[in-house]
Amino acid sequence: MVVKDSQPFSIVDDCGFKELVALLDSRYTLPSRRVLKEMVVKRYEEEKTKAKAVMERVEAVSLTADMWTSINMDAYLAVTCHYVDDSAKLATVLLGVLPFPETHTAVNITAAMRSLMEEWGTEGKVTSIVTDAGANMVASVRSLNVRHAFCFAHSLNLVVKKSLDATPGLQDLRTRARKVVTFFKTSTTAKEKLREVQEQMNRPVLKLIQEVDTRWNSTYLMLQRLFKERQSVGAALATLKTDVRPLSSEDYETADACLQLLSPFFQATVELSEEKRVSGSKIIPMTKMLMLYLYDTIGKTSHDTAKLLGQNMVSNMQNKFDTTESQTALTLSTLLDPRFKTIGFYNQVQAAASVKRLTAFCTQLRKNAQPDTPTEEQPSTSAQPAPANVDNPSSTGLNLWETLDRDASEARTARNATADATVEVQRYMTDPPLERSKDPLAYWVDHQNVYPNLFKLAKQFLCMPASSVPSERVFSKCGEILSKKRNRLNPKTVEKIMFLNKNL
């Protein structure tokens, strides 16, 4: 209960809780705060041992990492690990929420990450690390010599925020919208009047949503809610004494036209922040769909502000995601997702290059799976002596052709591996794509004997999440634990509680 509900250890001293426990079982003696803390530590050690045993069997993992500073100004580094388990399901384990008293330099982050990877035995298993685009994180992943994938949610946030800020007219609209929302959120009279009007209009009682400067989706939600409640808000403002001006009909037309452009970006952000479904493979096809949607909507809209916003979004999307279809982790995960394959690519030249890259990976797997091939044996000479010459090593005591024979044998093996890999990849590519609503991992379970090497690669690359949101969610829970009423927890204790909260 303490772990799952973020309850303080002091709950065992609360009068109401004591009375409740006594009512349930008067014979039960509550543990003291000290004993309760010892129970948490013991459970932490048990669960961590179990989790490490599971990780030993895992062949490939993908990590996410993020930094956070608590209300006490204590810094933490969270690292989550994602993999495909024995039953071919996506699984996640929190490797750690490390207290981070050092400065947030790439060198210090690298040392902490490497230490964590060594402790959990993931060295050599990490196919990618997903982080934000902070310079220290980028440099850290580079130092670890691991493929780096930028958080797609962060990248979309930067694209849309930059586009909104660069569109004349929208800044003023957002400023006036924020004033309206602030008025209804800070005035009890206005709040009550809005509720009253909504009830009179037989509408659901909905509160307005305020924009948060760092998150563009809050801008979307603010404008969406204002547009939906425009009649209720206008009627309420008309009866209140205030200098806050309601938005005009032209303002709402602008908001509606811009919301049509922003809507799929909001959908993409939500969809690609999931932990329990394959998401990394969606980045390339999702980017393609967003670009096609922008081009189509810009061509249809007659609203000048919306058209300019759309053009800004196209430009920023091209700048931000220009190299997406050439990144190994992203391209292979897309190809290995039977829902997308090459049709998920915007650029078919890049798609063809990615298929060659996949074939090379498959070839290497086949080579690694083959036993070392010895030099071909010479015919036996026991039956009849052969004439003494350099072609017959038994007569001279040496084999002049040993190196050439070995090279020739390796070349035949390599050619066979390449040919077999090419056939396996091409057969997979010509299969019809899976329905988008289907589970790609379930497909691979059904086809693991048909495409054995691609199945191994799918387990390596389909575990990559599209965003670092899993690490951010850890810190959201940390914020609940380290509240103003509970701010004396030791950072090491916070780490143990968070580990159990995420992994139990």
pLDDT value at 12 more than 90: yes
* Percentage above 70 pLDDT, the chain: 91
**Distance between CA atoms of residues 492 and 394, nearest Å:** 70
User: In this predicted structure, what is the pLDDT of residue 407?
Assistant: 78
Task: Tell me the backbone φ, ψ of residue 278, rounded to 5 degrees.
Answer: -60, 125
Q: E strand or H helix at 128, and its extent?
A: strand 126-131
pLDDT at 393: 52
pLDDT digits (tens, 9 = 90+) for 444-475: 999 999 999 999 999 999 999 999 888 877 77
Which conformational region is residue 169 in: left (phi greater than 0), alpha (psi within -120 to 50 degrees), or beta? left
The pLDDT value recorded for residue 22 is 95
DSSP state of 466: S
Distance in angstroms (rounded) separating the CA atoms of residues 209 and 433: 41
Phi, psi angles (nearest 5°) of residue 143? -65, -30
What is the token pair recorded at 95? Answer: 């490797």
List Cα–Cα distances, 336 to 16, 89, 141, 287, in angstroms.
55, 15, 24, 17
Please give the structure tokens belonging to residue 195.
Answer: 């509720």
pLDDT band at 330 (very low <50, low <70, confident <90, very high): very high
Sheet holding 61-69, edge to edge: 90-99, 75-84, 61-69, 126-131, 148-150
Instruction: Give the tens place of pLDDT for each residue, 369-403.
Output: 765 544 444 444 344 444 445 455 555 566 777 78
CB 123 within 8 A of CB 117: yes
Helix/strand/coil (H, E, C) string of 33-96?
HHHHHHHHHHHHHHHHHHHHHHHHHCCCEEEEEEEEECCCCCEEEEEEEEEECCCCCEEEEEEE
pLDDT at 370: 64
More confident residue, 153 or 394: 153
- Which of 75-89, 136-150, 378-392, 441-455 shows the lowest per-residue confidence on average (mean pLDDT)? 378-392
Q: What is the mean pLDDT of residues 195-221?
A: 92
Q: pLDDT grade, residue 114 (50/70/90)?
A: very high
* % of the chain with per-residue pLDDT over 90: 69
The residue written with tokens 């609209």 in the block is 173
Residue-averaged pLDDT of the chain: 88
Q: Which amino acid is at 210?
A: Q
List the one residue out of 486, 461, 493, 381 whose CA is nearest residue 84: 461
Predicted local confidence at residue 191, as pLDDT: 95
> DSSP for 240-288?
S--SPPPPPHHHHHHHHHHHHHHHHHHHHHHHTT-SSS--GGGHHHHHH
8-12, 249-253, 283-287, 437-441: least confidently modelled range? 8-12
298 pLDDT band, cuts 50/70/90, is very high
Instruction: Retrieve residue 424's tokens.
Output: 């396996």
Reported pTM = 0.85
pLDDT band at 487 (very low <50, low <70, confident <90, very high): low
Stronger pLDDT, 390 or 187, i.e. the higher one = 187
Looking at residues 124-130, what average pLDDT do you find? 94
Q: How far apart are CA 412 and CA 400, in angstroms?
A: 20
Note the pLDDT of residue 397: 62
Q: HSE-up of 400 (CA within 13 Å, CB side)?
A: 6
